[in-house]
């Protein structure tokens, strides 16, 4: 939204007057520096749609309970809808002097319908008004992220299906460990993002209580129907305690916690994209759409999108820490410190949205180098565990003994500078005489991945079954 009108209503800088919305007890207005630190309209105007939704629900309840006349509420709602249309069209003049989105809307409403606009604030405080609008915003954001994460999971499943048989090295400590399939590796991230979706649903369920009607901190003497306002705004129920209602920002912290964990998952995948696309690995090629060149080295293809996704996790984690520090020592109920709650949420929402969309795009566009992946899967004696398992299964050898025997065979291959399958049968029999020619049937990377058929294992048939399961389980 444009910033062009933020100063439109400011008076001469040498003239101070009390804010007409709350200044009855004040002879003079705030210092200009106080106005600057106190105003939040530059960022909380993002809440305009949620604020108007809350005001309409409040007005409708005031009419139903007889606190306001139906005719007054009709005027109020018509005025609010007109204001929303103006803001939607970027035709609304915001005023820094009016501090925030809530006072800006109220002042505009008075200009449109006169003194009846002042009745909208009956039985309501900015404290419960802000808390309600902010909850609505966070709830909307969580719903949006559920959709984005679904799309990311769908992209992962599509590529996992395509590469269900593609063999690659599996790593621990970034050292080649055992062969896996690329499809299986991608499915690991489907599970990570499924947990993120579960966390956001948990956060949504936990915050789905309506603070409207808690007023400043103590409730109100007016005969409100808080169940009505909660229901009309899609909340499960009203909040139970008026003090907690206006001072709670757990919902924002839970949103930021979800965002931080999700961003860290994206960062891990971003790191792998960077490694996989390097010349040293050459497992995948990222498209032109998500890479950049060098200003001096014409051969370069830099994985900038993956690197920036990786970096976003730091910023989002910082947003969480920022709000934790704001909230950690606050007494009940509302404190002005809590005005600092929105920018971390807005920033995290923006950065996480970009990161998810970028990662989804990269996954859709990448091309896997199947030959290079399979070649790399055989490095580092990655089928050593298959050899040990063969000793256990065929010779009834205790696993710890099989582990020792296999280690000796690996050491021999290292001294010969060859692969396990390139050792002769007699060389292996010098270490364990009972080994037979059949040992060579388990030393290929193809056999290794085909044999991992345990539930959740990497075998291609498992991958295909897991894709079908995931689509049903996660609504994909």
**Helix or strand run (H / E) with residue 129:** helix 126-162
**Helix or strand run (H / E) with residue 152:** helix 126-162
From 68, 42, 41, select the one nearest 55 (Cα to Cα). 68
Query: b/e for 295-313, b at 16 or more Cβ within 10 A?
Result: eeeeeeeebebbbebbebb
From 156, 157, 180, 159, select the one nearest 168 (Cα to Cα). 180
Write out the two tokens for 275: 């490694």
C-beta separation of 73 from 232 below 8 A: no
Active site residue 294: yes
Given the residues 294, 408, 424, 441, the one annotated as active site: 294
C-beta separation of 203 from 134 below 8 A: no
Active site residue 173: yes
Beta-sheet pairing, 237-238 with 209-210: parallel
**Residue tagged 């007699």 (tokens):** 426
- Contacts with 25 (C-beta within 8 Å, 6 or more apart), sequence order: none
Write out the two tokens for 227: 């169940």
Q: How far apart are CA 221 and CA 148, in angstroms?
A: 44
Given the residues 25, 173, 426, 454, the one annotated as active site: 173
3-state secondary structure of 14: coil
C-beta separation of 434 from 401 below 8 A: no
Question: DSSP assignment of 437-461, as one string?
Answer: GGGGGG-SHHHHHHH--STT---HH
Alpha-carbon distance values, 396 to 145, 211, 351 (Å): 52, 67, 55
- Contacts with 19 (C-beta within 8 Å, 6 or more apart), sequence order: 26, 29, 30, 97, 98, 99, 103
- End-to-end CA distance of the chain, in Å? 34
> Cα–chain-centroid distance for residue 469?
24
Instruction: Say which DSSP state 18 is in.
Output: -
Q: Which residues are tagged catalytic?
A: 173, 294
């Amino acid at each position: 939204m444009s910033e062009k009108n933020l100063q439109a209503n400011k008076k001469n800088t040498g003239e101070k007057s009390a804010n007409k919305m709350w200044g009855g007890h004040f002879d003079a207005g705030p210092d200009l520096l106080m106005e600057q630190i106190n105003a939040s309209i530059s960022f909380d105007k993002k809440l305009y749609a949620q604020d108007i939704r809350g005001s309409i629900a409040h007005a409708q309840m005031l009419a139903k309970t007889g606190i306001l006349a139906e005719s007054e509420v009709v005027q109020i709602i018509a005025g609010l809808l007109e204001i929303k249309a103006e803001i939607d069209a970027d035709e609304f003049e915001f005023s820094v002097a009016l501090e925030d989105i809530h006072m800006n809307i109220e002042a505009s409403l008075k200009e449109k319908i006169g003194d009846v606009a002042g009745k909208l604030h009956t039985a309501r405080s900015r404290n419960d008004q802000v808390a309600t609008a902010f909850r609505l915003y966070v709830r909307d954001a969580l719903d949006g992220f559920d959709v984005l994460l679904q799309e990311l999971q769908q992209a992962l499943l599509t590529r996992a299906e395509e590469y269900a048989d593609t063999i690659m090295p599996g790593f621990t400590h970034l050292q080649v460990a055992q062969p896996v399939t690329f499809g299986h590796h991608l499915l690991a991230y489907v599970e990570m993002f499924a947990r993120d979706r579960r966390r956001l649903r948990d956060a949504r369920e936990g915050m789905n209580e309506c603070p409207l009607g808690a007023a400043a901190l103590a409730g109100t003497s007016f005969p409100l129907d808080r169940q009505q306002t909660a229901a009309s705004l899609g909340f499960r129920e009203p909040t139970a305690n008026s003090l907690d209602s206006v001072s709670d920002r757990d919902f924002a912290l839970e949103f930021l916690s979800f965002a931080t964990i999700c961003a860290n998952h994206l960062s891990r995948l971003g790191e792998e994209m960077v490694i996989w696309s390097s010349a040293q690995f050459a497992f995948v090629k990222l498209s032109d759409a998500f890479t950049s060149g060098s200003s001096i080295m014409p051969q370069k293809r830099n994985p900038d999108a993956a690197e920036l996704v990786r970096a976003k996790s730091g910023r989002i984690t910082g947003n969480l820490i920022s709000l934790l520090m704001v909230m950690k020592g606050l007494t009940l109920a509302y404190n002005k410190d809590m005005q600092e709650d929105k920018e971390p949420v807005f920033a995290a929402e923006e950065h996480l949205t970009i990161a998810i969309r970028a990662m989804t795009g990269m996954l859709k566009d990448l091309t896997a180098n199947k030959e290079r992946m399979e070649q790399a899967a055989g490095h580092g004696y990655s089928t050593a565990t298959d050899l040990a398992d063969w000793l256990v299964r065929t010779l009834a050898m205790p696993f710890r003994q099989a582990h020792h025997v296999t280690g000796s065979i690996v050491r021999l291959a290292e001294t010969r500078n060859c692969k396990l399958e390139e050792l002769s049968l007699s060389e292996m029999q010098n270490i364990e005489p009972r080994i037979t020619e059949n040992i060579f049937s388990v030393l290929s990377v193809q056999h290794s991945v085909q044999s991992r058929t345990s539930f959740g294992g990497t075998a291609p048939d498992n991958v295909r079954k897991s894709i079908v399961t995931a689509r049903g389980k996660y609504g994909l």
